[in-house]
Structure 1
Amino acid sequence: MAGKAMDSKSAQTKALVLATALSMFRSKGFAKTTMRAIATEAGVSLGSAYYYFASKDELVLELYRESVTEQRAAASLALESATGMADRLKAALHSGVDALTPYHDFGGAFMSSALPPQSATNPFGEASSQVRENAVGIFSDVIDGTKVPPFLRPQLPELLWLAYMGVVLFWVYDRSDNQRRTRTLIDGAAPLIARLISFSRLPVVKPMVEEALALKKKVQS
């Protein structure tokens, strides 16, 4: 019982540090918020704050992890009633934007934090590999039950995730009300992507797609 109580207290402290950091990122800005200030505001020792998060980058990684978890849960629910590639892709992309919305005010700062290759928050880096795998899994769910050419199916979830990363970049710099332009982009791009996937099985298109997939595999090896 004592061990469970300690685990519960530890989880609460970690959640408190994360919630405090998020609040301070909003009120003071990402760059001006220090780990010491977060610890002071949360009412915990600096050592305790560093115990759970070694840096602000790790705080951002945790926020990224939580947003992907939230996106996958919302997408799974939406996919239950979505049929066809376009509608299923829309559901996943909109779920992602919904999950990220609370962080829009400092999205640019987060993007700057994620740019260095060695950053824990880099979505293509080793530190975020588990989160990336979960995120790509969302798009595996998207293509389940849809007609996708067999030669394309293994790599399609990652390609759709890369497209989502492009949407996120657009969203970061979208200053329209409630990021309306991003929603418009999703609604227009999803049917287009669905058609391109369908066209990829055509004899005149398939060789070019296979060549592009081979190049992707080569540069990743």
Structure 2
Amino acid sequence: MAKSEETRSLIVATAMRLFSEKGYDRTTMRAIAGEAGVSVGNAYYYFSAKEQLIQGFYDELSHQHLTASRQALEGEPDFGTRLKTVLLTWLDVARPYHRFGTQFFVNAADPESPLSPFSVDSTAAREASIGLMREVIESSDVKLDQELREELPGLLWLYQMGIVLFWVHDRSPHTKRTRMLVERSVPLIARLVGLSRLRVLRPVSREITSLIRDLAKQD
């Protein structure tokens, strides 16, 4: 890893630790720079505002999730198992950051915020997650309508965003309710996806894909 990337990762890791220990609002860029052993100017060189550190965290979390998921998926052909593995792996990777997940969501929920999962700034993390969902489908044995196949990775990513929202608000021990949601909802989704190939349901799946494409065209 290049020195600049090492420094950037160090600043992000330090910020996440301080956010967890002191809270997001009480952590300053000066404190982050001091703990990371870099100058304040150097910290601002990589991140022009504290909010951008959260975007850096999203990117880092996305990379960790991608790496862990690919290892866990290797050799598994079943679509439902693959989807559940990806979602549970995300919960495992994100577990240390659950305490301040609410603060992240407050920022991300604003459609004008660069931290929104739909923003231009979030493009890399979003495309990586959708790409992972594409791998879930393409390397599985699932049979489905071809038109739905093209739109399904994006739909599964939206489903994952719903899981993340539930996780943010989940106060059960070790977020057991979120894990239960994954365990019980994935088989339903896998069943619906499998049914899409049936001729009698094909018009429904194609109407869904048509709606998605029309929504995507709106300004």
- TM-score, normalised with respect to structure 1: 0.91
Q: Is structure 2 residue 23 aligned with structure 1 residue 29?
A: yes
1:38-65 CA-to-partner distances (Å, cap 9, x unmatched) read: 2233332221111011112211111111
User: Bigger shift: 136-145 or 30-39?
Assistant: 30-39
Aligned to 1:64: 58
Residue aligned with 2:80, SS: helix
| Shift in Å, 1:120 | 2.5
Q: Deviations over 1:87-135 (max 9, x none)?
A: 1111111111112112111000001121223323211111111211111
Residue number among 6, 13, 35 corresponding to 2:7 in the alignment: 13
Write the deviation string for residues 166-203 of structure 1: whole angstroms up to 9, x where unpaired.
00111111111111111111111111100000112233
Given the alignment of the two structures, is residue 167 of structure 1 paired with residue 163 of structure 2, yes or no?
A: yes
2:111, 2:168 → 1: CA distance? 19
The partner residue of 1:215 within 200, 211, 215 is 211
Contact 1:57 1:119 in 2 (8 A): no
The one-letter amino acid paired with 1:124 is F
Alpha-carbon distance between aligned partners in 2 of 1:58 and 1:105, rounded to the nearest angstrom: 19
Query: TM-score, normalized by length of structure 2?
Result: 0.91
Structure 1: stretches of 5+ with no match in the other structure: none
Q: Give the aligned partner of residue 92 of structure 1.
A: 86
CA RMSD of aligned residues (A): 1.7
After TM superposition, the structure 1 stretch with the greater mean CA deviation from structure 2, 47-56 or 202-211, is: 202-211
Q: Which residue of 1 aligns with 2:131?
A: 137
Distance 1:134 1:75 in 2: 12
Aligned-residue offset at 1:153: 0.7
- Give 1:110-125 correspondences, 5 Å limit: 110-125=104-119
1:186 aligns with 2:182: yes
| Cα 1:13/1:77, change in 2 over 3 Å | closer
The question of 1:196 aligning with 2:192 is answered yes
The structural deviation recorded for 1:72 is 1.3
Contact 2:20 2:99 in 1 (8 A): yes
Corresponding pairs, count = 215
Please tell me the residue identity of whatever aligns with 1:19: A
**Which residue of 147, 152, 160 maps to 1:151?**
147
Q: Structure 1 residue runs of 4+, over 6 Å off?
A: none
CA contact (8 A) 1:135 1:161 kept: yes
Among 205, 208, 213, the alignment partner of 2:201 is 205
| 1:96-111 correspondence runs (5 A) | 96-111=90-105
Post-superposition Cα deviations, 1:25-84, rounded to whole Å, max 9, x if no partner, equal 011111222222222333322211110111122111111111111111111112113231
The DSSP-based 3-state class of the residue aligned with 2:26 is coil
Q: Mark the runs of 5 or more structure 2 residues left unpaired by the alignment.
A: none
